Structure 1
Amino acid sequence: MTILVTGAAGFIGMHVAEALLGAGRRVVGIDNMNDYYEVGLKEARLARLTDYENFTFHKVDIADRAAFAAALEVYTDITEVVHLAAQAGVRHSLTHPFDYADANVTGFLTILEYCRSLRKLDHLVYASSSSVYGANNELPYSVSQATDRPVSLYAATKKANELMAYSYAHLYGLPLTGLRFFTVYGPWGRPDMAYWLFTDKIVKGEPVQIYNHGDMMRDFTYIDDVVSGVLSVLAHPPVETAAGPAHRVYNIGNNKPEKLLDFVAVIEKSLGLEAQRELLPMQPGDVKETFADIDPIRRDVGYEPVTSLKEGLPKFVEWYQDYSKD
């Protein structure tokens, strides 16, 4: 059977699609290739996927219902969907709010309606975010905690996705699972993320902007561990029970928060260079610390992250140096 992967030219999307293709699955990829960050990076990721004979790609905006339907109408054997397409970035949502309404709300509704139209849906796995925990100060973040205090529009749209998915699971019996990703990093990552920005500035000898004067911690999660989690979840669709519909939400994190300044130190060591540190106040929409409770996903699907920051960050730095040469 064919699997649909949205956001296939994105960071997580490319890695998930490649893992599925390598396992012999037929994958249809969707991405609008927008210019939120350099399109050339997305094209390079996509080039890796197009080397596989069992991959087909369509450049489509999921908020464009007509174009989405036209692109997928020829595929009659799609039974699984991994929905990773979204407008990402907390800070970008402060200045471009309608991008988030279009991609993350209208676009997600397009995906839900598509899944409802399928003759048989085995599972929809969709991307949520650790940002939904917002102003919650209870650590570690657990899926049983309230998530009704978002501190950014991006977070609000991701919480909206979870509520929308719950309603579709309840109304139509669709098996749906949301994944709250915690600061994913690694090769082929996003240029707007701290690990890329810090590495780039250190190499160029420019000041590294460190917010909240460095008093921050993040549950950094290596991309290979994330892919392992996504595929394990995909293979275990939820079922309706007396407690509720076939909808689940899990954290995907490393279950080990790291100090931001230690994070910078690992990059410095990997590069053999010292950063010029510019300590700044907290940014609007940001949170001081993230820490994922992964007991539910560990219990239900056997998810177990294995990559430490000291192992994963040097792999990103090595990839960054090779990619920057081109």
Structure 2
Amino acid sequence: MNKSYCLEVSHRIYYSNEEPIPIAEIASSLLALERTLQRLPRVLTQVTSVPIQGLEIYVQEIQSGSLLEDIVLKIFFKDQAELDAFLGKIREKLGEHKVARNVLIGALILSIIGYGLYLAANTAGSKQAANTINVNNNVIINIGAEQAQMEPEQLAKIIESAISDKKANAKDAIEIVKPAKRDPTASITLEDQTVLALPKEVIQTAPSSLEIDDTPTEREYKDVDLSIRATNLDSNHQGWAALIPRLNDRRVKLVLADGVDPKKVAGKFTVRADVIVHSKPQGKKKEILPYQITLLRLVTE
């Protein structure tokens, strides 16, 4: 990843708690936020049609009392042309206003978190909580869709398809809101915008925990050699297997993301691709090993 072509943006997350929050909960929520933000490039890539090479996340400032977190995102592109193309797309949709750009990205971040809470509520079997969360999610999706100049249904589909490991996203969403959940009046607001918020009703109805055995992790890799071991033209999710030499020496399940043409993969021994590697604790020693690879896109140049 060439770090010369980078767009740096700042975002603010505000927890309106009246009482101090334990350090352990702050740390856990920040780590969950970092994992959640790593899903953002896949959403931005689909919204702008400009591929993003990577993302680095930094904490600029944390203020105690009511918890205030200033986060810096460094978004990386392959070259100056793609950075300019991304900025051009943003200007085309939003004009020159920095606040509008932050509202768009803030809405996307909040939509990913909200979708995770919705998945958690469904997994926990709480229809009332899922409905409350979904109503708020629709408001946030509408804001993001208006900024991105697309239909809300289109943006919702982009977010859903970009989150390949939905269980992990659900668990991270729970950890993100946990500090606010200890205060029944607290809400979470992004970008100092009252419309970009998880209100107390959503936070309090969301599950406090989610029992998922062997919690998975995911990591995105750009332009790797993917060795194909099994194919299935009748399905993008079943019957495929692959491995990445020097990363995993045994084949694992391969899933083709939306937009990947199975015919361009089937019959090949090796393809160059951008992928997500999903891992989880396995065996008696609970060693972290890959169990699935998601093929995001083929690299053709």
Superposition TM-score tier, normalisation by shorter sequence: 0.3 to 0.5
Select the structure that is richer in strand: 2
TM-score (norm 1): 0.30
TM-score (norm 2): 0.32
